[in-house]
Structure 1
Amino acid sequence: MSNPTQSSAQPIENKAQLVDYLASGNKPKSAWRIGTEHEKFGFQLDDLRPPTYEGPRGIGVLLNTLAERFGWQKLDDRGNTIALLRDMASVSLEPAGQLELSGAPLETIHQTCCEVDSHLREVRSVADELNVGFLGMGFQPKWTRAEMPWMPKGRYKIMRDYMPKRGNLGLDMMTRTCTVQTNLDFESEADMVQKFRVSLALQPIATALFADSPFTDGKPNGYLSFRSQVWSDTDPDRTGMLGFVFESGFSFERYVDYLLDVPMYFVYRNGQYLDASGLSFRDFMAGKLSILPGEKPLLTDFADHLTTAFPEVRLKKYLEMRGADGGPWNRLCALPAFWVGLLYDQSALDAAWDLVKDFSLEEREALRNGVPKYGLKLPFRHGTVRELALEALKIAGQGLKARARLNSRGVDETMFLEPLIEIALANETPAERKLSLFHGAWQGRVDPVFAEYAY
């Protein structure tokens, strides 16, 4: 989740400014970049418990040591280091201490993989000294919600109090989930619309390929991506598949209208988060926000509000692909490969649109609702999601070949799709592989996952 926005403090006088804010993300193709974010669970090597913020082995020590050793700039929240900044990248904390890398905007997936590898090596060098490890999965496999710590970030207290009012699993989303996400650019409003529609329709395919959250409280939970299921019972005001994106006339303005109907969480003023949970941004624009009577919002407030909507694909000044469970290093590189291949080559984008353009609203919702439980084996039309995944991967591979971005050995970016192709061909998600181990070699225990799948 985001840190306080470092954006324009320009006052908002009308809705057109908000439309212009989103439209300012338009970039020529030569300026398109790839941003990759991933979260991971920390655990103490001796007892597997998640580390707290405080203490000699805590997350606070980890962040401060990373900053001192590797030249990161610290971001402070009421005296606590809660994020690190360097070279347009950041390291930050999710509510229960899940460590997130928000990568810099890069030109190739080769660079993305180098960035991820460098980050994990830095983290490992400090974590080893603290006797701490990190695990990539979609949902905390062992510890209960009550056993998860809370990090000292002001916005999390507000969300912690508000979440249970809107859904049953919002606190699980905050404390027990991890994802990998890719952020991609668009050239124009029309380009944004096509990419938004393709990525929304295919987001359940990514969820299936990356499904890796089959355990809750040390036992199988009946799902392959329980992380994805959690989002379906978090907050209906700010989650979901956004059917209006497929309606005629969808635009930046239509998305602004959606955002203005998403209830607020907070307003950030003078280093403090003010509780605005459930209040209306429309009222704020009219100077009628009860906690700041007579005051109108700044563009920074709108930028912050953007981060409190959680649809399967989110529009900011770029598009965020939000459907995948966290996982091991090679899948952190595979997600940007999948989406860049589909969205950054026009022929591939057109082919992907041809694949999904006749999906009905009901079919898109059925995919979203069924994939968390059934993964690639979910029936769809005359086949299964697996056939859709194989076709999407084929198109993505063609898009990456057309990009022809080579590494120093002359190899293009299609190499990063290989883990996903293997999963689709085997028709077995990462979650199903862990379930087989749980019922076999692990003898009904989840503890081995921390040793066998740690970074």
Structure 2
Amino acid sequence: MSDSSTTAAGDCTEHAEPRTRVTEAEVEALVRGICFKTGPPRRLGVEVEWLVHEEREPQRPVTPDRLDAAYAALRSVPLGSALTVEPGGQLELSSPPAASLMECVGTVSADLAAVRAVLRRDGLVLAGIGHEPWHSPRRYLREPRYDAMETALDRTGSAGRSMMRASASVQVCVDAGHEEPGPLGHGRRWWLAHTLGAVLVAAFAHSPMAGHRPTGWRSTRQLRWMEIGPGRAGAPVPDGEPRAAWARHVLDAPVMCVRREDGPWEVPDGLTFREWTRSGAPRPPTRADLDYHLTTLFPPVRPRGHLELRMIDAQPGDDGWIVPLAVTAALFDDPEAAETAYRTVKPLAERTLALPAPHNPLWADAARDGLADPELAEAAADCFTAALAALPRLGATTEVTDAVAAYRDRYVLRGRCPADDLLDRLRGADARAHGKDDLR
């Protein structure tokens, strides 16, 4: 979840006429015209989110005062990426659009080094975990947007607060693709993102805990998105024409809030954007309201001119984020690898039961079992092999290809994911301490 936007081929909120009332037909035309911008894949981006922990005592919550001081210091650091703070105090770096994989890696790596140096002076570190394993979710930011978001999400339970306050991800942004059919065609890429997405969930699952305890899911972060519900965190079934499907989804999705210049924002219950355009109440919706509405939808694949793939958990290690970035870029932007990925994951679509991601059995199995699921493990192994063959064609350095190969050997070929390492360490700590864990 992010307010910032890494653009690969542009952002679907550009050229807004903020005070112009929009009709239902205008909304459909606008969404169809601007959320998928087709052309040869040329740009790549990544948004990396991190939890912030105490370096010496990671299980102790960082106080708001300490976060305030650290983030004030970061505001003076020159960065190539956009730096934003999430509702629970998570940090996010959003790269500018890059012309190549290595340009993207270079920019974000340099920015992360600068951010870590500032945080280290205050005794803080970035933690690459998909869901906070220790602390109860807490709000850090107090803004009208997040007040309204919390009110809206609370209607479906506590999952929304966990998503806002305690989750972190690696979001890869790729171009929408060619208008014409083929391995890089926008219809194929839209379908591939929703089916390959389950493989990415399983291969990079890294959030098996909450409140010091295993949740029973390798990706608790993905579980929280499922619990929020399809209206806010779901996607249309990726069959048929993407533009029409996404336009319908946008119109039928619930309005999170009606913003006001004076007074608290209204949080309607059950009002869809389609109903808002028809009724004009509590006030007529404008083009600016549509633009804002698009930022309040959190599907696993979000079209914003480009495709924003949002399903990957934050990864361990300083450079762990590079592997999912490299694998995803290879499987989407190299024609041979894209064709292999499509053929590999096509049989998995039978497990979706024509339900949208992430609210279907395939995605649930991926989040719960990771690569312990034999079909997902086999698909991941084939996709990693295709990615490794493609990366030199994309200009990847030996360091990047070696990192992908090491990940494949350590996890994918063994039917494991980083969540399994955390669980193994927790079990070992429990055994040593007779029930008292000392996991770091």
Shorter-chain TM-score: which interval? 0.7 to 0.9
Name the CA distance, whole Å, in 2 between partners of 1:196 and 1:36: 18
Partner residue of 2:294?
306
Structure 2 counterpart of 1:418, which letter?
A: A
- Report the secondary structure of 1:317's partner residue: coil
Task: Please report how far the alpha carbon of residue 140 of structure 1 lies from its aligned counterpart in structure 2 after TM superposition.
Answer: 0.7
Partner residue of 2:252?
261
* Matching of residue 171 in structure 1 with residue 161 in structure 2: yes
Structure 1: unaligned runs, 5 residues or longer: 72-85, 450-455
- Report the secondary structure of 1:63's partner residue: helix
What are the residue-to-residue correspondences of 1:125-144 with 2, within 5 Å? 125-144=117-136
Name the CA distance, whole Å, in 2 between partners of 1:332 and 1:387: 22
Structure 2 counterpart of 1:340, which letter?
A: A
Residue pair 1:142, 1:446 contacting (<8 A) in 2 also: no
Name the CA distance, whole Å, in 2 between partners of 1:399 and 1:302: 39
Relative distance call for 1:142 and 1:316 in structure 2 (3 A) is same
Task: Please report how far the alpha carbon of residue 376 of structure 1 lies from its aligned counterpart in structure 2 after TM superposition.
Answer: 0.6
Task: Please report how far the alpha carbon of residue 418 of structure 1 lies from its aligned counterpart in structure 2 after TM superposition.
Answer: 2.4
Structure 2 counterpart of 1:417, which letter?
A: V
* TM-score after normalising by structure 1: 0.82
What are the residue-to-residue correspondences of 1:320-335 with 2, within 5 Å? 320-328=308-316, 329-335=318-324
Name the CA distance, whole Å, in 2 between partners of 1:130 and 1:272: 37
* Matching of residue 200 in structure 1 with residue 176 in structure 2: no
Partner residue of 1:285?
277
Name the CA distance, whole Å, in 2 between partners of 1:215 and 1:412: 31
Residue pair 2:236, 2:245 contacting (<8 A) in 1 also: no
* Matching of residue 429 in structure 1 with residue 424 in structure 2: no
Name the CA distance, whole Å, in 2 between partners of 1:424 and 1:174: 30
Name the CA distance, whole Å, in 1 between partners of 2:404 and 2:69: 36
Task: Tell which deviates more after alignment, 200-209 or 417-426.
Answer: 417-426
Residue pair 1:314, 1:322 contacting (<8 A) in 2 also: yes
Name the CA distance, whole Å, in 2 between partners of 1:445 and 1:271: 51
1:156-205 per-residue CA deviation (whole Å, 9 max, x = no partner) reads 11111121212442211111211111010023445221111111111111
Name the CA distance, whole Å, in 1 between partners of 2:53 and 2:87: 15
In angstroms, what is the RMSD of aligned CA positions? 2.6
* Matching of residue 43 in structure 1 with residue 53 in structure 2: yes
- Report the secondary structure of 2:254's partner residue: coil
Name the CA distance, whole Å, in 1 between partners of 2:234 and 2:285: 29
Q: How many residues of Structure 1 are paired with residues of Structure 2 in the alignment?
A: 410
Residue pair 1:180, 1:324 contacting (<8 A) in 2 also: yes
Residue pair 1:232, 1:239 contacting (<8 A) in 2 also: yes
* Matching of residue 26 in structure 1 with residue 15 in structure 2: no
Of 84, 96, 103 in structure 2, the residue corresponding to residue 92 of structure 1 is 84
Name the CA distance, whole Å, in 2 between partners of 1:175 and 1:338: 28
Structure 2: unaligned runs, 5 residues or longer: 6-12
Residue pair 1:313, 1:322 contacting (<8 A) in 2 also: yes
Partner residue of 1:215?
209
Name the CA distance, whole Å, in 1 between partners of 2:285 and 2:215: 46
- Report the secondary structure of 1:302's partner residue: helix
Residue pair 1:109, 1:333 contacting (<8 A) in 2 also: no
- Report the secondary structure of 1:223's partner residue: coil
Relative distance call for 1:316 and 1:271 in structure 2 (3 A) is farther
Of 381, 387, 396 in structure 2, the residue corresponding to residue 390 of structure 1 is 381
Residue pair 2:136, 2:211 contacting (<8 A) in 1 also: yes
Residue pair 2:101, 2:396 contacting (<8 A) in 1 also: no
* Matching of residue 252 in structure 1 with residue 216 in structure 2: no
Residue pair 1:213, 1:226 contacting (<8 A) in 2 also: yes
* TM-score after normalising by structure 2: 0.85
* Matching of residue 367 in structure 1 with residue 380 in structure 2: no
Partner residue of 2:70?
62
Of 67, 88, 95 in structure 2, the residue corresponding to residue 103 of structure 1 is 95
What are the residue-to-residue correspondences of 1:120-159 with 2, within 5 Å? 120-145=112-137, 148-159=138-149
Task: Please report how far the alpha carbon of residue 387 of structure 1 lies from its aligned counterpart in structure 2 after TM superposition.
Answer: 0.8
Residue pair 1:142, 1:218 contacting (<8 A) in 2 also: yes
* Matching of residue 377 in structure 1 with residue 365 in structure 2: no
Partner residue of 2:218?
224
Task: Please report how far the alpha carbon of residue 50 of structure 1 lies from its aligned counterpart in structure 2 after TM superposition.
Answer: 3.2
Relative distance call for 1:201 and 1:4 in structure 2 (3 A) is closer
Relative distance call for 1:287 and 1:240 in structure 2 (3 A) is closer
Task: Please report how far the alpha carbon of residue 357 of structure 1 lies from its aligned counterpart in structure 2 after TM superposition.
Answer: 3.1
Residue pair 1:95, 1:175 contacting (<8 A) in 2 also: yes
Identity %: 25
Name the CA distance, whole Å, in 2 between partners of 1:430 and 1:4: 27
Task: Please report how far the alpha carbon of residue 333 of structure 1 lies from its aligned counterpart in structure 2 after TM superposition.
Answer: 0.6
Structure 2 counterpart of 1:427, which letter?
A: G
Structure 2 counterpart of 1:252, which letter?
A: R
Partner residue of 1:78?
none
- Report the secondary structure of 1:183's partner residue: strand
Structure 2 counterpart of 1:180, which letter?
A: V
Relative distance call for 1:286 and 1:309 in structure 2 (3 A) is same
Task: Please report how far the alpha carbon of residue 402 of structure 1 lies from its aligned counterpart in structure 2 after TM superposition.
Answer: 3.3
1:338-366 per-residue CA deviation (whole Å, 9 max, x = no partner) reads 11111112222222222233422328832
Residue pair 2:43, 2:97 contacting (<8 A) in 1 also: yes
Task: Please report how far the alpha carbon of residue 269 of structure 1 lies from its aligned counterpart in structure 2 after TM superposition.
Answer: 5.6
1:415-436 per-residue CA deviation (whole Å, 9 max, x = no partner) reads 4422431211222211111211
Name the CA distance, whole Å, in 1 between partners of 2:232 and 2:98: 29
Name the CA distance, whole Å, in 2 between partners of 1:336 and 1:4: 18
Structure 2 counterpart of 1:185, which letter?
A: D
1:20-53 per-residue CA deviation (whole Å, 9 max, x = no partner) reads 1224x22333xx2111111111123455333344
